[in-house]
Chains A and B, each alone.
Chain A
Amino acid sequence: NAGVTQTPKFQVLKTGQSMTLQCAQDMNHEYMSWYRQDPGMGLRLIHYSVGAGITDQGEVPNGYNVSRSTTEDFPLRLLSAAPSQTSVYFCASSPRGGLLAKNIQYFGAGTRLSVL
């Protein structure tokens, strides 16, 4: 009954360091997304994927890379962390659209990232 699993839950980086936020889902969902949540800004879409091998940019993609080699995993990479990337990051997944799918996105518990 895992759903969407994000690791780590907390991370502190220094400016210029790189890291990967992990996201895995066990619901066989085709669609996966990454969001960032900043105070007073709500959640904003960073990147999304409609299936293995297919990714696209969302509203705020700069500074982030993604890839999707399997249906289950959708890692988010920060190549050179900046203080502006301090945020809470959420991964979400959903089945392909349709009435049965109900177009619901299921969210992970989030990763709180601080860049010093």
Chain B
Amino acid sequence: AQTVTQSQPEMSVQEAETVTLSCTYDTSESDYYLFWYKQPPSRQMILVIRQEAYKQQNATENRFSVNFQKAAKSFSLKISDSQLGDAAMYFCAYRSAAGGGADGLTFGKGTHLIIQP
């Protein structure tokens, strides 16, 4: 079974600064997908960014980028120019490519991101 570990229960950053959230995972599979989801106080799960394991290039979505290190099984999220609206819980998640990923996501326990004005 796969496991996802987020070692930072809480992070704090000044507005406009850059912050990196850590995620490591354990799997014996070679083909999989990794995701970062954002959960604001509204509870809605919002996809931030995704990465295919077969791609060496790190994914980027505007101010959000990842550092994907497949050999180290590491998948960190970097948020540049932090904004007050970025304050939320952030979850790292893994999805197997086997069977088309039918059996859902495996989540980490989350990192609570605080933005200081």
Contacts and interface: CB of A to CB of B under 8 A. Distances in A.
Contacts of A88: 43
Interface of B: 4, 9, 33, 35, 42-45, 47, 50, 91, 93, 95, 97, 99-110
Nearest to A4: B45
Contact of B97 (A31, A103, A112): A103
A97 B107 contact: no
A33 B104 contact: yes
A102 B104 contact: no
B67 to A, nearest CB: 20
Given A48-B104, A92-B104, A94-B101, 7 more contacts: A31-B101, A33-B104, A41-B109, A42-B4, A48-B102, A105-B95, A109-B43
Given A42-B91, A109-B44, A104 B50 contact: yes
B107 A44 contact: yes
Contacts, number: 70
A45 interface: yes
Contacts of A43: 45, 91, 93, 105, 107
A107 B45 contact: yes
Nearest to A44: B107
B37 to A, nearest CB: 8
Given A41-B109, A43-B91, A103-B95, A56 B47 contact: no
A98 interface: yes
A96 interface: yes
Contact of B104 (A41, A97, A101, A105): A105
Contacts of A110: 43-44
A58 interface: yes
Contacts of B91: 42-43
Given A42-B91, A42-B107, A97 B45 contact: no
A43 B110 CA distance: 9
Contacts of A44: 107
Contact of B33 (A31, A92, A96, A103): A103
